[in-house]
Amino acid sequence: MEQRQKTGSSPFLKKPFGGMDAMTLRLLAILCMVLDHLWATLVPGSDWMTFLGRLAFPIFAFQISEGFFHTADVRRYAKRLLLFAIISEIPFDLNQGGTVFYPFHQNVLFTLLLGLWAISALDKARKKRTPGAAVKGVAVAAVACLLGTVGMVDYGAKGVMTVIAFYLFRDFPMAWAVQLAAMVALNVVWFKGWCLPLTVAGYPFEFPVQGFAVLALVPIWLYNGKKGPGGRWTQYAAYAFYPLHLLVLYLLFSLLR
């Protein structure tokens, strides 16, 4: 399979400081993720941590879309995601339910894997340009979203749709504006959950905490299309960090509670 090329749009014609490469984006997402998980385990009450933590998933979803366009082997990419999703499930379950088997919530790597499956099907449909292929592509994407809900993966169907949105709107005219609209729809308009009571100009309203995820678009738009330092082992280390940090947080939480 030929390696795909990046042609995505950005509102920054000249990116400040040369932009952010893929490794820098990944490290930023990891930092935000760790802050969120610290808030959920060892540092409860520090809400600013989970506010920043909301930025992690959109960056990871964006990198799945970009990784799809850059990879030379989508199947190997999917197998790597599946492997680490399986490895991560026990540490994730320990954090979520305090047990090695907690079937009511699955880790975020399964969400990203479903998103990769969906955009792979949509990309095949786009290349074939036939009604049958289009129906199949949309059907697979719909099934992926359904599995995200039924399978109770992290972020559910909206998480899968986030990956799809970054794929679909990558080369749109004014792509950044469409991405912004999609992120607001997924994280503010359609979100149900914890909200902050705010007042602006005397008018009270509730702002969903998940809405902070929209801010992830700023570093995403600063992406310069470059891989950054490190090679394959650096990528594997980033994947391995997910289950390892979950396990460490669980052990620390168990010792301190």
Locate the domains of the chain by residue range: 17-256
Q: How far is CA 128 from CA 86, 111, 119, 125, in A?
A: 33, 26, 14, 5
Cβ contacts of 11 within 8 Å, gap of 6 or more: 176, 221
Q: What is the pLDDT of residue 159?
A: 98
pTM for the whole structure: 0.93
180-195 per-position pLDDT tens digit? 999 999 999 998 889 9
**Which residues of the chain, if any, have pLDDT below 70?**
1-9
Q: What is the pLDDT of residue 192?
A: 81
The residues facing 204 across adjacent strands are 199
Q: What is the pLDDT of residue 2?
A: 39
Q: What is the pLDDT of residue 107?
A: 98
Q: How far is CA 225 from CA 7, 15, 206, 216, in A?
A: 9, 11, 36, 16
